Chains A and B, each alone.
Chain A
Amino acid sequence: DQQVKQNSPSLSVQEGRISILNCDYTNSMFDYFLWYKKYPAEGPTFLISISSIKDKNEDGRFTVFLNKSAKHLSLHIVPSQPGDSAVYFCGGGTSYGKLTFGQGTILTVHP
């Protein structure tokens, strides 16, 4: 039972353009959603979050959109930079902080 799905294993984008990473979920009980990014040999690093009662949250170059009716969220990175190249995981969280993650999307930003 995969409650969080990231259907695109990889995404390649030119520097300066927009990167859009997508995530679908099935569990309506998630209270919040988060995006983490992970570099090789490091643990995941928190990027941005959104409460289940919001539809948008913005932090600098990163914006997360939540469409509850479609059970879909997306992460927009504008403009994309080569340093953004990493694996991005979306996750849903419930009370007490249990996180359920998708499989990840490898983002490559080309100079």
Chain B
Amino acid sequence: DAGVTQSPTHLIKTRGQQVTLRCSPKSGHDTVSWYQQALGQGPQFIFQYYEEEERQRGNFPDRFSGHQFPNYSSELNVNALLLGDSALYLCASSTAYEQYFGPGTRLTVT
């Protein structure tokens, strides 16, 4: 079992650009959540997908959007990147309350 995988590992973008991050959930998991972890902070909930629908959303602007595919994998899209979007983006999958996290994608916006 590969666990939760995320790609890419690292990414450098310029202000104003758009980025897409990808996540493959742990085998058997149907729910995917995305978190943003800024330096020195705990992960902050962005949104959660279940059955290809956004089920819950945290306090993030509409520039942050996502998608879940029939195979339960998911994408996080961020438009009009700001310097403040630089962070570690974590994906977590679950079937119940325990969430399994991937290693994250480190996004740097210059």
Name the residue of chain B whose CB is nearest to the CB of A5: B42
Residue B7 lies at the interface, judged by CB distance under 8 Å to chain A: no
Stretch binding the partner chain, chosen from A14-22, A66-74, A101-109: A101-109
A-B contact count (CB 8 A): 64
Contact A101:B42 (CB < 8 A) given known A41-B103, A96-B55: yes
Closest to A102 in B: B42
Assess A101 versus B97: contact at CB under 8 Å? Given A43-B90, A44-B90: no
Q: Find out whether the CB atom of A4 lies under 8 angstroms from the CB atom of B42.
A: yes
How long is the Cα–Cα vector from A101 to B97 in the complex, in angstroms?
14
* Contacting pair A45 B42 (CB below 8 A): no
Q: Does the CB pair A97–B44 fall under 8 Å?
A: no
Chain B residues closer than 8 Å to A4, beta-carbon distance: 42
Residues of B contacting A91 in the complex (Cβ-Cβ under 8 angstroms): 42
* Interface size counted on chain A using CB atoms at 8 A: 25
Q: Are A44 and B98 in contact (CB under 8 A)?
A: no
> Is B76 among interface residues, defined by CB-CB distance under 8 A?
no
Q: Which of A40-65 contact B (CB under 8 A)?
A: 41-46, 49
- The residue of chain B having its C-beta at the shortest distance from the C-beta of A6 within the complex is B42
Q: Considering the complex, which residues of chain B in the window 70-110 have a beta carbon less than 8 Å from any beta carbon of chain A?
A: 90, 92, 94, 96-104
Contact partner of A46 (CB less than 8 A), chosen from B48, B56, B98, is: B98
Q: Which B residues contact A (CB, under 8 angstroms)?
A: 4, 31, 33, 35, 40-45, 48, 50, 55-56, 58, 90, 92, 94, 96-104
11 A–B contacts, CB within 8 A, in A order: A43-B104, A44-B43, A97-B94, A97-B96, A98-B48, A99-B45, A99-B92, A100-B45, A101-B43, A104-B40, A104-B41
